[in-house]
Amino acid sequence: MQGRFITLEGGEGAGKTSSVAFIVDYLRSQSIDTLATREPGGTEVSEAIRAVLLDKSLPSMHADTELLLMFAARQEHLVRKILPALAAGQWVVCDRFTDATYAYQGYGRAQALERIQQLEAWVQGTFHPHLTLLFDIDVELGFQRVRTRYAAQQTQADRFEQEHISFFERVRRGYLVRAAHYPDQFRVVDASQSLERVQHDIKQYLMEFIQQAKAQHV
């Protein structure tokens, strides 16, 4: 059976990255061969592009350069890692994908959505995630969490995390617009809830999705 492509999306501090391990463990507990990856990144070349994209010590980057680098990293990731894994029957869980480009570069940076659509069609053809879990959280609350994380891990904001709060309000709205537009693909998780509630909701969505996948296979 062809694998399934599951993506996780959301703003800063929504807890999606820490949910990757939970999702992978759950899928494996259901005997599903699962691969975890992330964007931008996921291959050696794409991780090198990620380092450039997040490096705040570089001079400011033109918005088109940023957009093209996102899709350059994605092209490499898709052909070298995601598509071969899916063809081999693995399920791929990816921390961010093209919906992030719509939310951050489209809604956040006000890049024309048609331009993103053109790049998406070029790089992906008709390929898109089978399921997207959107971790939605109030922007201020998300930032409080991020600040706690910096303090605990002694890390600092990357180039995106330095943006103004209004940027992240636009990103959040962009994600919610897309979720409303593609209800078959998106499931929205209220990420302001306790970890237990969030994991409970994720599990419900995954159980439903696995059942559908099995039914399609029969």
Using the minimum distance from each CB to ligand TMP, give the nearer residue, 37 or 101.
101
State how far the Cα of 15 lies from the Cα of 115, in Å rounded to an integer.
Answer: 30
59 DSSP assignment: P
> Does residue 104 belong to the site contacting ligand TMP (CB under 6 A)?
yes
Token pair, residue 162, equals 């330095």
State how far the Cα of 56 lies from the Cα of 160, in Å rounded to an integer.
Answer: 8
Q: What angle do CA 160, 162, 168 make, to 5 degrees?
A: 65
Interface residue with ligand TMP, options 6, 35, 49, 70 (CB under 6 A)? 70
State how far the Cα of 156 lies from the Cα of 210, in Å rounded to an integer.
Answer: 38
Stretch of residues binding ligand TMP (CB under 6 A), selected from 22-30, 99-107, 184-192, 207-215: 99-107
Q: Closest separation between CB of residue 136 and ligand TMP, Å?
A: 15
Stretch of residues binding ligand TMP (CB under 6 A), selected from 85-93, 98-106, 195-203, 206-214: 98-106
Q: Closest separation between CB of residue 208 and ligand TMP, Å?
A: 25
Interface residue with ligand TMP, options 3, 15, 40, 174 (CB under 6 A)? 40
> Does residue 106 belong to the site contacting ligand TMP (CB under 6 A)?
no
> Does residue 76 belong to the site contacting ligand TMP (CB under 6 A)?
no
60 DSSP assignment: P
Q: Is the peptide bond before 129 cis (omega within 30 degrees of 0)?
A: no
Interface residue with ligand TMP, options 5, 34, 91, 95 (CB under 6 A)? 95
Q: Closest separation between CB of residue 67 and ligand TMP, Å?
A: 8
Q: Closest separation between CB of residue 137 and ligand TMP, Å?
A: 13
State how far the Cα of 117 lies from the Cα of 93, in Å rounded to an integer.
Answer: 23
Footprint (CB under 6 A) of ligand TMP, residues 149-208: 160
Do residues 78 and 9 lie in contact, with contact meaning Cβ atoms separated by under 8 Å? no
- Type of residue numbered 120: E
Neighbouring C-beta atoms of residue 18, cutoff 10 Å = 11
- Residue ranges in contact with ligand TMP by CB under 6 A: 39-40, 70, 95-96, 100-101, 104-105, 160
